[in-house]
């Protein structure tokens, strides 16, 4: 079974530039998550999708961050414009609706560096 | 927000030695606890999901215990090997299914 796929794996941009990350979850997983992991901290949830609906985006900085999951499968996370403080690892995860204990499967992440 | 704390932040272990580290959490309204292993440049990998007080789980040389009444979980690595070098994350699940992660314990095993 293929795991969660993310691209790109690494991205270096200058501040004020836009950037986008892509995630393909495990086939059949209806729930998709985007996490932000700053150095020395644990991952923090940015947004959770149930199929194509964003059910928890309370931690997403909506002035510069946006996300979409138009067909309930792949998802993109965008930052525009990027700031120096956005340098971090962006993780995508997915889970199946029948996972009562919310077992999430993670992708390898995108490491973003903003110069 | 659930306050999940892990200690130590990092530790160095000699190959062959055993080690353990802690995840602490509020004991009230416990639902489930997850342990993940995250190797550099790889995906975080689920190790254990634990729900019951007194739970003990084992996977190879790695094991974990859970005390929900006092709010802690220990992760043990027996006979550490260089391939055990990783960051070990614990996370609590609330009743809504949201994961709250600790900051992790970075383990470095030196030959």
Query: Are A92 and A3 within 8 A, CB to CB?
Result: no
> Cβ contacts of residue A94 below 8 Å, gap of 6+?
A4, A25, A26, A29, A31, A32, A33, A104, A105
- Is residue B1 scored above 70 in pLDDT? no
Question: Is residue A106 less than 8 Å (CB to CB) from chain B?
Answer: yes
Question: Is residue A25 less than 8 Å (CB to CB) from chain B?
Answer: no
- Is residue A1 scored above 70 in pLDDT? no
* Partner-chain contact A104 B49, CB within 8 Å: no
Query: What CA–CA distances, in Å, run from B21 to A10, A17, B93, B104?
Result: 31, 41, 20, 10
- Provide mean pLDDT across the span B4-25: 97
- Is residue B89 scored above 70 in pLDDT? yes
Q: pLDDT grade, residue B27 (50/70/90)?
A: confident
Strand partners, A67: A77
Question: Mean pLDDT of all residues in chain A?
Answer: 94
Question: Is residue B32 less than 8 Å (CB to CB) from chain A?
Answer: yes
Question: Which residues of B are less than 8 Å from A109 in CB distance?
Answer: 43
Of A30 and B95, the structure prediction assigns the larger pLDDT to A30
Chain-centroid distance of CA A92 in Å reads 4
Residue matched to tokens 């138009």: A70
* Partner-chain contact B104 A105, CB within 8 Å: no
- The pLDDT, as a whole number, for residue A23 is 98
Q: pLDDT grade, residue A98 (50/70/90)?
A: confident
pLDDT one-digit tens code per residue, B34-87: 999 999 999 999 999 999 999 999 999 999 999 999 999 999 999 999 999 999
């Amino acid at each position: 079974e293929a795991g969660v796929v993310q691209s790109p794996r690494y991205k270096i941009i200058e501040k004020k530039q836009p950037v986008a990350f892509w995630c393909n979850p495990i086939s059949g997983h209806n729930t998709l998550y985007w996490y932000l992991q700053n150095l020395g901290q644990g991952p923090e949830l940015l947004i959770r999708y149930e199929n194509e609906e964003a059910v928890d985006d309370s931690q997403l900085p909506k002035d510069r961050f946006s996300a979409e999951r138009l067909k309930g499968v792949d998802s993109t996370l965008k930052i525009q414009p990027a700031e120096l403080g956005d340098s971090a690892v962006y993780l995508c995860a997915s889970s199946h609706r029948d996972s009562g204990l919310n077992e999430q499967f993670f992708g390898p992440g995108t490491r973003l560096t903003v110069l | 927000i659930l306050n999940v704390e892990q200690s130590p932040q990092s530790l160095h272990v000699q190959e062959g030695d055993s080690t353990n580290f802690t995840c602490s959490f509020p004991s009230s309204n416990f639902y489930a606890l997850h342990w993940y292993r995250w190797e550099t440049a790889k995906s975080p990998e689920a190790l254990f999901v634990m729900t019951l007080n007194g739970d003990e789980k084992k996977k190879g040389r790695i094991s974990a215990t859970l005390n929900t009444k006092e709010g802690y979980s220990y992760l043990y690595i027996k006979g550490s090997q260089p391939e055990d070098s990783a960051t070990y994350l614990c996370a609590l699940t609330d009743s809504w299914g949201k994961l709250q992660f600790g900051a992790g314990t970075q383990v470095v095993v030196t030959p």
